[in-house]
Structure 1
Amino acid sequence: MTSAALDIRPATPADRHTVERLWLLFRHDLSEFGGQLPHADGTFRKERLEAAFSGDVDWAPYLFRLGERPVGFAFVRGLSGGTRVLNSFFVVRGVRRSGVGMRAVREVVGRHPGEWEVAFQDANGGAVRFWRWVAEGLAPGEWSEERRPVPRRPDLAPDVWVSFRYPSL
């Protein structure tokens, strides 16, 4: 990893094109665990991307940069409710296991204190390890995990949901 400073900030409409490109990498990574194929034009479904940039006060998109280089993003939803959901989270492979992910999660979650949930798939071993490590790091001994069916997708294995409060009390 370079010595450039890591910048984690709310994404603006001017950042949308960059986040859309990262979105393709994210959806490509996830396609391994659900068998999703790209559309005929090479894109993947993007309802969450659209919602994050819709201007809805319930959503907040974030962009992570290392110097001038984009290295990830996060979409938060549920800001107007009791529980926030880290709806989408992605860090490019070139900086994984370098601390960028934990720093980004801590920064994003810290901007919206309270109850949090994050979903991932059991088949995604890296995500399993990462999100359990994050939950323990943010709310030591005060987090839970449960499996929930994927809405409208009985053909898929249940998602794993990690829940915690940040800052933990």
Structure 2
Amino acid sequence: MERLWQLFRHDMSAQSGELPDAHGRYRRERLDLALDDTRPDWLASLVLADDAPVGLAVVRGLDQEERVINSFFLVHPVRRGGHGTALVAAIVAEHPGRWAVAFQDTNAAAAAFWPKVAESLDPAFVLEHVAVPHRSDLPPDSWVRFTTEAS
């Protein structure tokens, strides 16, 4: 999962401008929290295709009213193959309730993917733009919010 995280952060650097550290690695605090067994409010999920790790999702707020998918990544060859939608569906089915996902409008793939997935799970989903806390230099984040019911 750590290697996929580095690929994810590299992909996201096109949006964030973030550079790796002196050792060539990107920040990984969120992944560390999700992998910490003492933090049941965080979750890390791995996507496999033919036994190969091809994606990940990191969720926070499992103990909150609104849960947040705050990191989501698939390697390029499996994008648009249904793996992402299946991963989101599996996560929210396991933890029904209110959900939120932030993305940047400049990330065309995310801007197309998240509203479509949110609508498939909750036709009454909401899309809103919210200022990035403490970063007035950045455009607002787009947030999709949706609710799922227990099956």
| Alignment size in residue pairs | 149
- 1:166 is aligned to 2:148: yes
> What CA RMSD, in Å, does the superposition of the two structures yield over aligned residues?
1.2
Structure 2: unaligned runs, 5 residues or longer: none
Q: Identity across aligned pairs (percent)?
A: 50
Aligned to 2:52: 69
TM-score by length of 2: 0.95
- 1:105 is aligned to 2:88: yes
Aligned to 1:85: 68
TM-score by length of 1: 0.85
CA distance in 2, matches of 1:157, 1:41: 30
CA distance in 2, matches of 1:88, 1:135: 16
Deviations 1:62-115 (A, max 9, x none): 111112100101111111110110111111111000111111110111110000
CA distance in 2, matches of 1:40, 1:158: 29
Structure 1: unaligned runs, 5 residues or longer: 1-18
- 1:151 is aligned to 2:133: yes
Note the C-alpha offset of 1:167: 2.9
- SS of 1:164 mapped into structure 2: strand
Note the C-alpha offset of 1:152: 2.3
Q: How does 1:5-154 map to 2 (within 5 A)?
A: 19-55=1-37, 56-140=39-123, 142-154=124-136
